[in-house]
Structures are given as structure tokens and as C-alpha cells.
């Protein structure tokens, strides 16, 4: 077990893996396109190393941290950076409507064990999100950014890409962290787009989940409990898919269009 710089031990249960390399921290802020007019939301301030870099580049930084033993360390950073607002609370329980009220960039080294809940909580405030850049496990980033007909393409790929343009700007080796995790990480970047006009996003999400309910089955088999076989087959033919197509073969755009067609 390793000690942090403040004398406390790293807390594995909170996913504490910190970065101290200033060049890498500056590169992360650059990948996040942080500018002097930006408001930046950071989730998981940790030792405050990324926090300090963000404060040097942004107009305002709002930083969440759940571990109150880090308060003395982070308060020193806040004392030297008047543009920093610290919130010692569980981000997943926070009322984002009161916090994200202007266009905001998210830049964070987030706890890996709650990556997906954090992303989907941010989706709730997508109208005020300029971009999201988060450091996650490499395999998770690959799933978010996956393309059809690949093993990583699935529910999360479709749902996120229906809302965001996704990219992986940087792979971060496990040796860059203290303590080092067991796997490499990657920065995943999500930029909101307006490609699709999904009238009922919750219903669309349920449709995607149903489509992938049994990955090795055909789309017809996965959807037949919710729609008539005739309707599904008609839609597949309309979008030039065979009746034996599997969900991982269907593009995001076609998932959106199929949902709209079946909803009618």
C-alpha cells in the first residue's frame, strides 16, 4: 500500500490513481480544448494536479471530490486560485441543474468503477455541455468509440454516438499513474452533435437495449417480443438489411431511423 503526498494512503475503493506528470496534465487540458473563457467541470480532483493546470487555463473551474481527507491539500490550491470552486460531495448525487448553468467543458480523471454512471449523469445536462474529455480504462474508451461490425460495438456505443461525436485523442499507459492501475487508460472525447432528432430518448435507449438483449441472436429475434415480426422484417428490408442481421452490424444512424419508423 502506497502513501499519498499528504501522508494518507491511496484509497482503492475510491479509484484513486493520480497523475503527477506536468507534461501529461497540460496535454490533457489541451486535448480538452480548455481556453481562458471556459468554465470547466472536473469530477474527482484527487491530489489537485490536474485541477491546478485547469485553473491556469480556464476562466472558472468547478471541481468535485468525495474524499474529504483531501480537503487540506485542495484548499491550498483553492486559496491560490480564486477561479476554483471546490465541492466535497458525491457527484452522482449532485443537482447539476444548479451547478451547470452555462456552457461547460468537462475535463476529468474519473474513478473508473463509476465511469458509465458519471457519463450518463452528464447526458442529463447535455444542453449545457460543450465537450466531455475523461480519462477512463482503455477498454471502456474503445467501447464508447466502437464502430459497427466490431466486438466492442454495443449498447453504450450506439446510445453515446447518437448524442456525441466520439474520439480517442490519447492512450495513457498505466505507468503514468500513482499508484499504477493494472490496465492502460485512454482519453475519450465526447462532443455533442445535432445529427438526429430523437423525440423520446428514453424510449430510444430502451429500444437499443432490447436490440442487443441477446448479442448472438438476430435483431428479429431480439425485437419480436416488442414488435410484430412482420413490422421488423419490413423495416429491415426498407434499410437494406438481411433478415439474419445481428445488432452489432447496424449503424447508429440506422438504429435511430429504425426506431422512428417502428414507433409510427
**173, 192, 211 - which closes a domain:** 192
pLDDT digits (tens, 9 = 90+) for 117-127: 999 999 988 99
Task: Give the residue numbers spanning the domain of 234.
Answer: 201-263
| 44 within a domain of the structure (yes/no) | yes
* CATH number of the CATH domain containing 208: 1.10.8.100
pTM, 2 dp: 0.90
| 122 within a domain of the structure (yes/no) | yes
**175, 192, 209 - which closes a domain:** 192
What pLDDT does 65 receive? 92
pLDDT digits (tens, 9 = 90+) for 103-156: 999 999 888 888 999 999 999 889 999 999 999 999 999 999 999 999 999 999
Element (H, E) at 108: strand 104-109
What pLDDT does 6 receive? 52
| 180 within a domain of the structure (yes/no) | yes
Angle at which helix 22-31 crosses helix 49-57, to 10 degrees, equals: 50
What pLDDT does 112 receive? 81
Examine the pLDDT at 4 and tell me if it is beyond 70.
no
Is the C-alpha dihedral spanning 13, 145, 92, 202 positive or negative? negative
Amino acid at each position: 500500500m502506497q502513501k499519498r503526498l499528504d501522508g494518507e494512503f491511496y484509497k482503492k475503493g475510491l479509484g484513486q490513481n493520480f497523475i503527477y506528470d506536468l507534461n501529461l496534465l497540460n496535454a490533457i487540458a489541451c486535448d480538452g480544448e480548455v481556453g481562458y473563457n471556459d468554465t470547466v467541470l472536473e469530477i474527482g480532483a484527487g491530489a489537485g494536479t490536474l485541477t491546478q493546470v485547469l485553473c491556469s487555463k480556464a476562466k472558472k473551474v468547478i471541481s468535485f471530490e468525495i474524499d474529504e481527507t483531501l480537503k487540506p491539500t485542495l484548499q491550498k490550491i483553492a486559496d491560490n486560485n480564486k477561479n476554483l470552486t471546490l465541492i466535497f460531495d458525491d457527484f452522482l448525487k449532485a443537482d447539476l441543474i444548479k451547478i451547470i448553468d452555462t456552457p461547460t467543458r468537462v475535463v476529468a480523471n474519473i474513478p473508473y468503477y463509476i465511469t458509465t454512471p458519471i457519463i450518463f449523469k452528464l447526458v442529463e445536462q447535455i444542453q449545457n455541455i460543450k465537450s466531455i474529455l475523461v480519462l477512463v480504462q482503455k477498454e471502456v474508451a474503445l467501447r464508447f468509440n466502437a464502430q459497427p461490425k466490431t466486438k466492442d460495438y454495443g449498447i453504450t456505443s450506439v446510445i453515446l454516438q447518437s448524442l456525441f461525436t466520439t474520439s480517442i485523442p490519447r492512450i495513457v499507459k498505466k505507468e503514468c499513474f500513482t499508484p499504477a492501475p493494472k490496465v492502460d487508460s485512454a482519453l475519450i472525447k465526447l462532443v455533442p452533435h445535432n445529427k438526429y432528432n430523437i423525440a423520446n430518448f428514453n424510449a430510444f435507449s430502451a429500444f437499443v437495449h432490447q436490440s442487443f438483449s441477446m448479442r448472438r441472436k438476430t435483431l428479429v429475434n431480439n425485437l419480436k417480443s416488442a414488435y410484430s415480426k412482420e413490422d421488423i422484417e419490413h423495416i429491415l428490408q426498407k434499410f437494406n438489411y438481411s433478415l439474419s442481421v445481428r445488432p452489432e452490424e447496424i449503424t447508429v444512424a440506422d438504429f435511430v431511423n429504425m426506431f422512428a419508423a417502428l414507433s409510427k
